[in-house]
Structure 1
């Protein structure tokens, strides 16, 4: 069990969580492994077959602490929470904005494409001299194309469908050269293209796991400011899908998730032996690998970067919360536009 910025992650399958007084207690094999006061928690996330006692569920819901159930590979299964607290005026403004979301979508797409381009350019600066000429040429061409897409999106004449098309084009270009950012010699850790449900190789399994963690944090951030995580702008509404949380994470994915995945692979903290292939070809991380990723996720969330709009240093782990506040301020009319977060 790990506590990261007021969120507890429980990864040991067969563990049991119970309430003892005003504390959450984690046990494995009947022996107490950890104890955390409830007042220090904002969320609990469990992976795989974890027993959670009914008294603890009631206590978490009553204290406004969300309990999220994920399968052992990080795929969302269910979420338990108490009464939803939201600002009705803010949510009405959000729902009105959903009818004409172009400007918010434009900001989201600009943030995502700029951060994708920054990740590629960082790799060129760090390792460009060591790359084969054809690999460096491909990266140069994609960064140039992403710059062209940015200029196109920044114009105010693109429709919503065109903005979505630009976002999709940028993603296709970005992932077409993603494998050239992987420097580990393990052939089994090569990039073969994006696969999601299910992930078909170790790199995709790692990305999907990190995206799940980021989506959880984004949803919590939106709920924390009173926004409805289901009513998005870039992602179309779909029953059961937290579309706004997926919107919020788009500009954060390249830096918070993709770069962390590359670091874990290139530093050989994760290898092919840390993953297993199931019937049907689905690839999943083992328990030790999940622990390694969660430890790295904790460390990454503690790192600070200058927020370009606030001009203050902000820990990575609080960036989703800051961006949710920026979005809420825009919807209330306090900001003329939603300012995306740029990594520099």
Structure 2
């Protein structure tokens, strides 16, 4: 088990090299060697002894708040830091041309995977998607000709707007417009925000396994207090891990009213909703594509970027076929 999602109120403790999770009067035991990432989605209690165990075995603990937003992590000590990689990473980002080309490839991956989500239904006879896909193809030309990072992000924003507007064509229950984030105002907006946060957390965990520095990024502006590199690398995977999963949950009638709490135009996931959404996301993360899980593909994406930084191979973002 790579990642352990804990969605209920729980107490975490240790017994030698065993993680003990106490919930609802029951205890579950996990060998710490089998875990690399603990995601706390509900209220949790743990002490320094548990954190020392996690630190000794390289286990990250990510914490979400009541509203389903990622708030921070306990970060184990880097296992194999490399100043040389960070130096080369900074050099690539300070070179405007190199930065723009890498950012462009990230957006290419996001575009291709958004398009694949819709093309899946077009190939199955949903001809109303034809003009949408034609428009997205035209937007691909603007991605290729964008002269700067702000222009590239503007093109990506238009692309996302057209992509989201096509969701009701796939299924009327996917109509959530407009996109609202803080706070979300309906179940679909709520799921998008929550699953995007889980995707970001999964990407951040895989980036930690490389020598890359998490605050040095290409598409998003490097900043303070966030892993902007993980925001970059999450872009190609959000259509696969978050959007595609939402399509599945809606079209297979898996969603239930008790997943959500709606008051005063604010929609939040309940504990039940967070638990089920996290379970489905965990399953999706381990689904295999071309012989590898999507979690493994995220790691390969980060490694590909590191190899590009070191001048070994050109970076190519992950692109899934429809």
- Which TM-score tier does this pair reach, normalised by the shorter chain? over 0.9
1:109 counterpart (107, 110, 120): 107
**138, 141, 151: which is aligned to 1:151?**
141
With over 3 angstroms needed to count, the CA separation of the structure-2 counterparts of 1:87 and 1:190, relative to structure 1, is: same
SS at match of 2:133: helix
CA deviation after TM superposition for structure 1 residue 237, in Å: 2.1
Q: TM-score, length-normalised on structure 2?
A: 0.92
The match for 1:294 among 278, 294, 297 is 278
2:259, 2:274 within 8 Å by CA — same for their partners in 1? no
Structure 2 matches for 1:1-344, cutoff 5 A? 5-13=1-9, 15-32=10-27, 34-85=28-79, 86-99=81-94, 100=96, 101-126=99-124, 128=126, 136=128, 139-155=129-145, 158-184=147-173, 190-278=175-263, 280-306=264-290, 313-335=291-313, 337-344=314-321
Partners of 1:288 and 1:46 in 2: CA distance: 14
Take 2:258 and 2:36, find their aligned partners in 1: how far apart are those partners? Answer: 34
User: How far apart in 2 are the matches of 1:20 and 1:259?
Assistant: 39
Cα distance in 1, alignment partners of residues 254 and 60 from structure 2: 31
**Distance in 2 of aligned mates of 1:267 and 1:83:** 42
| Aligned residues of 1:202 and 1:272 also touching (Cα < 8 A) | no
Aligned residues: 317
Contact 1:200 1:281 in 2 (8 A): yes
Q: Which runs of 5+ in 1 are unaligned?
A: 130-135, 307-312
Contact 1:16–1:28 (CA under 8 A) maintained in structure 2: yes
Contact 2:61 2:74 in 1 (8 A): yes
TM-score w.r.t. the length of structure 1 is 0.87
Where does the alignment leave 5 or more consecutive residues of structure 2 unmatched? none
CA contact (8 A) 2:41 2:65 kept: yes
**1:341 shift after superposition:** 0.9
Q: Deviations over 1:268-310 (max 9, x none)?
A: 11133420024x532111222222222222322232223xxxx
SS of aligned partner of 2:38: strand
Counterparts of 2:148 and 2:63, CA distance in 1: 38
Q: Structure 1: which 4+ aligned runs deviate by more than 4 Å?
A: none
